[in-house]
Structure 1
């Protein structure tokens, strides 16, 4: 496996998230940081299982880059950048994108099960970021990468999300837990399917 030099997927997804989320916010509220309601995001990519049954598959991607609160979006972009700068190079662009997309899509869909309609629209990048963070946790657990930068990135991504869940709903949200678990399964699969991952990582620590 080649250890790619630039985290292209990380940069592209971060820019798309930043630009699209701010654009949608401006379209709805007339301000880049104006207050909007989650129900207003349906036409812009918010997803439920009903949309999936109707084969509106584009929402699986777009729902992960549009946000209700732009300050939350900025934090998510920062978390994703920190993680992606380190982790994308370990597994390659395509695998990294699949890790982000699958864990985020599944986590976002599952998150809609705990909210009453019409507020049960799945949006935001938190589920995908926790899925990506799971790869970081796996690398730390296996002592493949024990750098302070990775430790900081993982804590920066996971701890605030967990604390906010405990403060507002008093338990980790189902979508967040699902995103992390799906990410862990994918990362575990990658690590066992490609034994060269450990060799590549060790050479680049």
Structure 2
């Protein structure tokens, strides 16, 4: 399910939304490596609670395309590369986009609501990626009796992801959990059998 065997060209053609998001993240990351300019972009786009409170709400979106170092973007983009295509294929382009962006935004809102330090700052796409994982959790909920093998694939991913959220240093826990819950709720609506039946009419 999450093993990618496509060539580079096939991957781009089959999963244009995931490919575009990955490309945008990489481009923005490369720009942030430019001396002075990169620091300015990080400052202008990072999710900073105090600045969001002053009305700079765009940071909830822009922070999703910024990363704090090579390993940070490598891990996030590899996760998106691995898990994104299957959800884009199952949910469709627009539903995938709503899951991805709403999970990322609500992960940022959860951070803003629960992290009271006005200087608390965060960047990264992990809240959106956790939304993808949450959506798969909803799919598992509906398909648990029809496709019991899904539990062996999806459940360990969810459990390990949540555990690692609490074990790793410098992790925005609220963004991860907020994204996970948002993705799950959207998935419950999108993957409801009667809704999925309408897609094919």
User: Which TM-score band (shorter chain)?
Assistant: 0.7 to 0.9
Following the alignment from structure 1 to structure 2, what is the Cα–Cα distance between the partners of residues 154 and 10? 22
Secondary structure of the corresponding residue to residue 35 of structure 2: helix
Following the alignment from structure 2 to structure 1, what is the Cα–Cα distance between the partners of residues 60 and 172? 22
Alignment of 1:29-178 (within 5 A): 41-43=42-44, 45-52=45-52, 55-112=55-112, 113-114=114-115, 116-118=117-119, 120-143=120-143, 159=160, 162-168=163-169, 173-178=173-178
Query: Moved runs in structure 1, 4+ residues, more than 6 A?
Result: 147-151, 198-201
1:150-183 CA distance string (max 9 Å, x none) = 96687568735632522448x9922211110111
CA contact (8 A) 1:21 1:66 kept: yes
Q: What corresponds to 2:6 in structure 1?
A: none
C-alpha change, 1:176 and 1:14, in structure 2 (3 Å) is same
- How many aligned positions are there? 186
1:75-123 CA distance string (max 9 Å, x none) = 10010111111111111111111111111011023224426342x1231
CA contact (8 A) 1:48 1:109 kept: no
State the superposition RMSD in angstroms: 3.7
C-alpha change, 1:109 and 1:115, in structure 2 (3 Å) is same
Q: For structure 2, which runs of at least 5 residues remain unmatched after alignment?
A: 1-12
CA contact (8 A) 1:83 1:153 kept: no
C-alpha change, 1:172 and 1:71, in structure 2 (3 Å) is closer
The TM-score, its normalising length taken from structure 2, stands at 0.73
CA contact (8 A) 1:108 1:123 kept: no
CA contact (8 A) 2:135 2:184 kept: yes
Q: For structure 1, which runs of at least 5 residues remain unmatched after alignment?
A: 31-35
Following the alignment from structure 1 to structure 2, what is the Cα–Cα distance between the partners of residues 172 and 55? 21
Secondary structure of the corresponding residue to residue 184 of structure 1: helix
Following the alignment from structure 2 to structure 1, what is the Cα–Cα distance between the partners of residues 42 and 21? 19
C-alpha change, 1:148 and 1:183, in structure 2 (3 Å) is same
Following the alignment from structure 1 to structure 2, what is the Cα–Cα distance between the partners of residues 86 and 150? 16
